[in-house]
Amino acid sequence: MTLIGEILISVLLLAAGFFGLVGSFGLIKLDQPMTRLHAPTKATTLGVGSVLIASMLYFLFFTDGITFHELMITLFLFLTAPVVAHFIAKAHLHRNWKPEELPQPEGDSTWGVYATDESETPDTPVKPQE
């Protein structure tokens, strides 16, 4: 039983190291700011995820209790990573792209970054059904 646990944990840690390394390497290798954004938002998720699963398995196999902290880290990571990526993309669009270079949205709207008119804010959300 201990052996199986050790093997599982080692494999997960190796996978984590591999994906973390690839994600960081992607930052150097890719050549445009937008493509560069892809490497850390994804390759690292599985990297960190594997470390967390390995940690949970360790506590499950080698101590007498399970921990939930890893699930919390996963939750916070999943909440923050897309938001940060979205902000970086928006800042980049704002500084380096013109509206003509992007595909147009449906209808006669513009993308949020280029909207200047106050009245052009999103529709009020649908009313909750009682």
Partner 1 sequence: MLRKFLPHPWMTVVVTAVWVMLVNVVTLNAIVFGLILGIIIPIITTAYWPERPTLRNPRMIIEYMLVVLLDIVRANIQVALIILGKRNADMKPCWVTVPLELRTPEAITILAGTITMTPGTVSSDLSADGHSLLVHCLDAPDPDAVVAEIKHRYERRLKEIFE
CB closer to partner 1 out of 2 and 129: 129
Q: Does 95 bind partner 1 (CB under 8 A)?
A: no
For residues 99 and 111, is the Cβ–Cβ distance under 8 A? yes
Q: Does 111 bind partner 1 (CB under 8 A)?
A: yes
Among 12, 26, 51, 56, interactor with partner 1 by CB under 8 A? 26
- Tell which positions 65-94 bind partner 1, by CB under 8 A: 67-69, 71-72, 75, 78-79, 81-83, 85-86, 89-90, 93
CB closer to partner 1 out of 5 and 45: 45
Q: Does 106 bind partner 1 (CB under 8 A)?
A: yes
- Round to whole Å and give the CA distance between 50 and 20: 10
SS3 of 53-91: the string is HHHHHHHHHHCCCCCCHHHHHHHHHHHHHHHHHHHHHHH
Please give the structure tokens belonging to residue 107. 């209808």
